Amino acid sequence: MMNETKLRNRTLDIMKGIAIIMMVYGHTFGLLRDWIYLYHMPVFFMISGYFWNLNYAVSRDSFYIFFFSKVKRLLVPMYIWYFIFCLFQNIFVDINFYTSSVEFLNTVGDTPIAQTIIYKEDIFVILSHCYQSFLLNFSPQLTGPSWFLYALFMVSIIHALLCYVINTYCKINRYFRFVIWMFIFTCVCVLAWAFSLGLGDTVFLMRHRRLAAAYVCYLLGIGIRNFKHNEEIHKSITFFFENRVYKFIFCLISIFLLTILSFYGKIELSDCTITNPLFLIVNSLLGWVLLFFSGQLIEDSRIGFFLSYVGRHTMSIMALHLIGFKLVSYVLVLFENLPIYNVASYPIIFDVSESVKIIYTVVGVIVPIVVSDFYFRSKDIICKKFIHYNH
C-alpha cells in the first residue's frame, strides 16, 4: 500500500510538473497555446479535487481546520506575493521591468495583451496599493497568475461548506446524495456557461465569474478519485493501468482528440471562456488521461524524476516565472540593440520566434526553482546555526 501511495503521488507530481511547464509556455503565446489551454488549468483544479477528503467537512471543527489550512497554503502566499511586488514597483521601474516611457506605447505594435506604462510612485501610494491588494481591488502587473490561488481557495471552501451542510442536515442514503451532487454539478455547469456568454458581467467581478468553471473541474477531480477507489470498477480496469501499451495508446488517443477539438472551441479559465460545459468536461478529462498516463509511462525515468521535482515547485514557478521572462527580455534587448523600455513588454517581447519562446519557457521554469531552492537551503542553514548557537 505504501508503494502504491508513493507511486500515485509521484504520478500526480509529474502531472503538475507537465502542467506548470505548459502554463509557462502558454504565457509566451506560443503556437500550441490554444491547444494547451484546453486542459492545463482544468487539470490543476482536478488534481486539487482529487485530493479532497470527506474528513475535511465532517464537523465544524474539521471545517475550521481545513479553512485555515487553505488560508495558510493559498491566501497567505498570494498576499505576500502582492505586497512584495507592490513594494518593489519603483525598483521595477528603475530596472525597466516596468517603464514610464511614453515611446513604449508607440512601438509595441499589435500584441495579444494591452501594454501599459507604469510610473514611480511615492510611499503613500504604494502603501495604498498594498491595502487595495489586501482587499483584492488591485494587483501588480507581475502577479497576473495569482488568480489561480484565489480561485482554488474559493472553490475548496465552497465545496467544504456544501459537504458540511449536506452531511449535517441531509441524513439520507448515498444514492440520494449522489442525485444532490449531480444537481449541484449541473447547476454549476450552467452557471459557467452563462458567465462564458457574458451574462452577469455587470453584476459579478471576473474573479467570481471564474469560480463556476473552476468548480466544475474541481468536482471532476473528486469524481475521478471516487471512480478510481471503487473496488468493483478498479478490478475491471486494473489491466489497463498495468499495461504500458494501453497507457501509450490512451495518450495517443487523447492527443488526437484534443487536437480535433481544438478546432471547434476554446477554453481559458482565467477569463471565463468555455465553448460550452460539455466541451469543458470532455477536454478536461482528455487532459487528465493524457497527463496521468504520460506520468505513469515516465515515472521511473530521469525525465520523470525531473518533472516530479518541477511539480513540487509549482507555487514558486507560478509566482516567479515572469521574473525569468524579464531576464530573457534583457538579453534580447542587449543582443538586438533594442530600446531598453522593450524589457517592459508584458509578459514577453512578442516579436520573437518560436524557439525564443521555448527559451522563455525554460528560463521561466528554472529561475523560480533555483530561487526557491536557494531560499529554503539558506533558511535551513540559518535555522540550524540559530539552534546550535542557542544550545
Give the model's pLDDT for residue 156: 97
Instruction: Tell me the average pLDDT of the chain.
Output: 90
User: Across residues 74-89, what is the average pLDDT?
Assistant: 95
**Cα gap 268→376, rounded to integer Å:** 33
Give the model's pLDDT for residue 5: 41
Grid coordinates given for 118: 507604469
Percent share of the chain, pLDDT over 70: 91
Give the model's pLDDT for residue 7: 42
Burial 312-340 (b: 16+ CB within 10 A, else e): ebbbbbbbbbbbbbbebbbebbeeeebee
**Cα gap 247→297, rounded to integer Å:** 7
User: Across residues 320-335, what is the average pLDDT?
Assistant: 96
Helices (H), 299-353: 302-311, 314-336
Give the model's pLDDT for residue 345: 92
163-203 tens-digit pLDDT: 998 888 776 677 788 889 999 999 999 999 999 999 988 88
132-145 tens-digit pLDDT: 999 999 999 999 99
**Cα gap 103→117, rounded to integer Å:** 10
273-321 tens-digit pLDDT: 999 999 999 999 999 999 999 999 999 899 999 999 999 999 999 999 9
User: Across residues 40-67, what is the average pLDDT?
Assistant: 93
Grid coordinates given for 124: 503613500
What element of type H or E holds 119? none
**Cα gap 186→181, rounded to integer Å:** 8
Task: Say if residues 156 and 48 touch (Cβ distance below 8 Å).
Answer: yes
Burial 289-306 (b: 16+ CB within 10 A, else e): bbbbbbbbbbbeeeebbe
| Residue of higher predicted confidence among 110 and 372 | 372
* Integer CA distances (angstroms), 81 to 120, 128, 227, 346, in order: 19, 16, 37, 18
Give the model's pLDDT for residue 2: 37
Give the model's pLDDT for residue 1: 34
**Model confidence band, residue 73 (pLDDT cutoffs 50, 70, 90):** very high
Indicate the pairing of strand 273-274 with strand 267-268: antiparallel
Give the model's pLDDT for residue 92: 95
In the predicted model, is pLDDT for residue 238 greater than 90? no
Q: What are phi and psi of 147, to 5 degrees?
A: -55, -30
Give the model's pLDDT for residue 4: 39
In the predicted model, is pLDDT for residue 107 greater than 70? no
Q: Going along the chain, which residue ranges are E strands?
A: 267-268, 273-274
